[in-house]
Amino acid sequence: MMTQEIQQINDNSFINDCAHGRALIEKEKPVKFSFDNIVKNPTVFHQKADRKNRRLLPFANGEIISTHAHYKYVRAQVLPLVEYLNRDFQKSLINRFCEVFNEFEFLRAYKDLTTIVNPVTDVLKLCTFEDLTLLLDDVKRQDLADSVAVHCKHQFDNFTKTAMRLGFSFDEFIIKSYDLLVELTAFHKIKPPYNNKGKTPLTPEQCESGILRFLDGEYWQDKFDLIAKRTNEHVAIALGKVRKKYSPYVSKGALRDYKQQQDNSKAYLEMMDVVNTETGAKQPLAELVALGSANPEKRRIELMVRCRGLEDIATKEGKEAVFLTFTAPSKYHKNSHKWNLSSPRDTSDYLCTMWAQLRAHLARLEVDYNGVRVSEPHCDATPHWHILLFVEPEKRDLLINVCRKYATAEDEEELWVSWKKYQVAVKNKKNKASRAHWYSPRFVAEIIDHEKGSATGYIAKYISKNINGSKMVGMVDDEAEIQIDESAQRVTAWASLWSIRQFQFFGAASVSVWRECRRAKDPFENKDMELVRQAADKGGWQEFTENMSKAKLVLVYEDSDETNDYNETITRVKGVRLRDLVEVVRLESFELQKRSLSLSWSPVINCTHQNSEQSNNWTLSDKDKNNLIKMGFDGGSLNFLLSGNAVFIRGQKFEVVNGQLISN
């Protein structure tokens, strides 16, 4: 589409004249410059007086120097190219356009702009929204979600009448209703609830919960919001706004949204208490969350303990450590001319599929291994993998060869250039070449020498830089060339946005059982189970794994009497089980309760004009005010609340009662 527009511009004499600074406009119609025109229309001599600086967008600083008529034409041609981009991107592109326009005139500036915007146009074609303004309008997305839910309810009601007339059984009615709603909403390209790709038929209970989701506007809004976030980030990648020395790993807007989300989560934790239903004892939810794996530092320590335990087991069994790096083909990278518009999510799916095929091949060859995988982004947000594996020495080369085969299988021809360089390097006696040179852009294998350092120490930096940068204070991320702590925050924002699993262990004991055993306060009665608990309590992953191989503990779940909004039974972990022996770890039950916020209020008597009555207003500290802002208050709602009125924020009612802020 853009190519056709450019061709039309090249054929238009008016635009060609603009390119040489000769465009003259009368009544918004192109007038080709010539001395004949000057004679026939003397008013053209006064066109220069109309040339001045004009802004294309009110919020962009860039200005073009043109006549009024020319300015209107430029706006009509340029603004549609950027109308579906957010304000920051519009501002950047329009400012660049103005610079090129003032130096080279319209044609050069337009070509430059379309070269940048063309990939964005292709990315937007992948979006499921027919109305692309939904990408930038939260209210419109909410309205769409509500309308989709209403449409689903209307169709469901109609089908209910049909099913009653045809005499369907309840189970048959529920299953067919679910299939109908899946078909009706398929054009949104959203994976339906309980989607299992047809592997097993869905139960009536699952279909019922799926139907309730289809009828819920909030369900659709969450889905549409995720589409908008990922599409906007994909657009940022296409524009080159995610790159080294500008905004590595994630765009500035995505990072800002992630920080806001973290602040909102923190504010929610601070306003909630965990209450023991039997004793009534309360504990702040934020303090309890900080004690678990949701705490980044706790998570990092746990990962390091598990890695160290795997290494100790491998050393005891005589295994060798191999460090592998997998990189996707060029077409998955934005900084390559072969880029096929793949998003980080697409690249992650490719790596997961490749790894599944690789593992199946190793299983057929009976290659036994275990280890840990770390997924991290390049500066352009394309993910790549680092994998630490422990394998028997006699099968090490076989494992490496199989991994290399699958890593280079797709688009192998692009590695031929590296192969030719390798052949030339072989002939150079001074610089000995390695055969690994030709496939190193896609696959690197390093055998870890224990005399030079431990395997855990080798992967430690990859774990730290992808969580919180702990133990690396003051160090710089070599790839992004920014401080490690800032890099870690950007990486976690990237993983959150694209739903990419950063760490995965394989061939290891269950970490869920490990955590449950560490939670247990009392010893287990069974001897084998107690050995597992003691090992976990001491933090010894090696001993825990060895004891788990003798006594394979599994989690025990308990169905509660409660159901969620979609009529699904809420299942909670109860304890651990060894065959028929069950050890209940969670003896107490808890529930969440909103905390009544006691803020620092000081009553002040304010008087309006003399005909009005006095009214009690309230003031509060800056700290309390910031807490309220994090909860969703703005200046207007704060003033309204402080004047003694009730305010509704995110479905909750807030009001001041006897100097306390009460929420219902």
User: Which member of 268, 462, 557, 566 is catalytic?
Assistant: 462
Query: At residue 635, what are phi and psi to the nearest 5 degrees?
Result: -60, -45
Predicted confidence (pLDDT) at residue 132 exceeds the cutoff of 60: yes
Give the CA-trace dihedral at 325, 329, 334, 335, to 10 degrees.
80
Instruction: Label residue 421 by pLDDT band (50, 70, 90).
Output: low
pTM: 0.81
Cα distance between residue 655 and residue 246, in whole Å: 45
507 to each of 115, 344, 368, 390, 621, how far by Cα in Å?
48, 27, 9, 10, 54
Task: Give the count of alpha carbons within 13 A of 573, CB side only.
Answer: 14
Q: Where are the alpha helices (DSSP H) in 408-483?
A: 416-426, 455-465
Query: At residue 27, what are phi and psi to the nearest 5 degrees?
Result: 55, 40
pLDDT reported for residue 629: 72
Instruction: Label residue 642 by pLDDT band (50, 70, 90).
Output: confident
pLDDT reported for residue 15: 37
What residues contact 376, with CB distance under 8 A and at least 6 apart? 383, 384, 386, 462, 465, 466, 491, 502
User: Which member of 110, 178, 439, 458 is catalytic?
Assistant: 458
User: Of the ranges 26-30, 166-170, 467-471, 498-502, which is most confident?
Assistant: 498-502
Q: Each residue of 349-393: pLDDT tens digit?
A: 999 999 999 999 999 999 999 999 999 999 999 999 999 999 999
Instruction: Label residue 419 by pLDDT band (50, 70, 90).
Output: low
pLDDT reported for residue 580: 85
Q: Each residue of 577-618: pLDDT tens digit?
A: 998 888 888 878 888 888 765 444 433 323 333 333 333 455
DSSP state of 523: -
**Tokens in use for 632?**
């969703």
Sign of CA dihedral 534, 539, 540, 546: positive
| 14-35 burial code (b ≥16 CB/10 A, e <16) | bbbbbbeeebbbeeeebbebee
Residue 458 catalytic?
yes
Do the beta carbons of residue 362 and residue 369 sit within 8 Å?
yes
Where do the structural domains in the chain lie, given as residue ranges?
Answer: 2-125, 134-230, 296-506, 511-593, 602-663
Instruction: Label residue 33 by pLDDT band (50, 70, 90).
Output: very low
pLDDT reported for residue 23: 37
Predicted confidence (pLDDT) at residue 28 exceeds the cutoff of 60: no
Q: 48-52, 423-427, 487-491, 605-609: which range is least confident on average?
A: 605-609
Do the beta carbons of residue 333 and residue 324 sit within 8 Å?
no
| Averaged pLDDT for residues 406-432 | 71
pLDDT reported for residue 13: 38
Task: Give the count of alpha carbons within 13 A of 269, CB side only.
Answer: 14
Q: Each residue of 297-349: pLDDT tens digit?
A: 999 999 999 999 999 999 999 999 999 999 999 999 999 999 999 999 999 99
| Averaged pLDDT for residues 607-635 | 57
What residues contact 425, with CB distance under 8 A and at least 6 apart? 431, 433, 437
Cα distance between residue 444 and residue 323, in whole Å: 8
